[in-house]
Amino acid sequence: MREESPDFSVAESGECQPPLNDQILAIARLLKIALRLTAYDEATAAPFSIFQPLIEATQLITGYTHRWETCDPIWKSYLMASVESMGQAQKAWGLGWKTYRILPDSSHLSPDEMFCKNYQDTYITCNHCGLCNGKNQSVAIPVHGAAFKQKAFRETQS
């Protein structure tokens, strides 16, 4: 299950916030911070080059994109394609993405996916797991959260 990490985002000016400098990058290397890639809640909204120094300075990143069909393919090496159906997952796999899929329930896990680590053990968080970095394994989790959101998701599945 996704959780909050320290935020580095991109302002309308196109600058990373907080602005990246050598000190921030040195701190990121020293503390081995976990980085969640996001920009306007969608990392690919920013050019990859903006995030690249931070990505290179950190040892653990997680990130997700709904724009996996249209974004710069370089993001495949860092982000998970967010998908809501097996059809979308298979399409994303065909394009070389690892996926993060919401399942109607746990029985829908496919052999090509594993459950989110936090779903298996709530003591495991994204900051320590880091599985969702685009490189490892496709991940899935049964729909969760507010009842109205679960209901709306299930309606998309029928």
> Least CB distance from residue 91 to ligand SF4, whole Å?
21
63 touches ligand SF4 by CB under 6 A: no
Q: How many whole angstroms separate alpha carbon 62 and alpha carbon 59? A: 10
> Least CB distance from residue 77 to ligand SF4, whole Å?
16
Size of the site for ligand SF4 (CB under 6 A): 13
Q: How many whole angstroms separate alpha carbon 125 and alpha carbon 105? A: 21
> Least CB distance from residue 12 to ligand SF4, whole Å?
28
138 touches ligand SF4 by CB under 6 A: no
> Least CB distance from residue 3 to ligand SF4, whole Å?
7
99 touches ligand SF4 by CB under 6 A: no
Residues interacting with ligand SF4, by CB under 6 A? 1-2, 62, 116-118, 124, 126, 129-132, 139
